[in-house]
Amino acid sequence: MRALARLLAEHRCENPVILDIAAVSDVADYFVIATVRSSTHLAGVYGYLMQYCKEHGLEPLGGSKRVANNPWLLVDLGPVVVHLMERGTRDYYELERLWFSGRRVPVPSPADGGPAQ
């Protein structure tokens, strides 16, 4: 999940956050949440994320399909769920506040350790 967050930061997603929700949720162990600047940016980041998943043998549960002009994209990788949200949507839903019992995990910067693995 740290590599996923770093990948998002490398592709200019803003404010990536990792929440460890394993102790408070049966849905997943981690949420990786990041802000995208526009629907075009979302489409590009989604492409990089799907390429990363393919290269690392990760298969989104139930498939993963981007819906045009949707300001929130969720990719369920089982123990890790990635949320890509446009700023207004992220501000409105405040997932970090909703899942306040989750523990924040430090996000490595893109400069830490080269490309996401």
The single residue listed with the structure tokens 């990719």 is 75
pLDDT in tens, 12-68: 999 999 999 999 999 999 999 999 999 999 999 999 999 999 999 999 997 666 677
Q: What's the longest Cα–Cα distance across the chain? A: 35
pLDDT in tens, 76-97: 999 999 999 999 999 999 999 9
The single residue listed with the structure tokens 């399909």 is 65
pTM for the full predicted model: 0.88
Distance CA 103, CA 111 (A): 24
Measure the CA angle with vertex 34, ends 29 and 36; round to 5°: 150
- CATH code linked to domain 2-105: 3.30.460.10
Where do the domains of the chain lie? 2-105
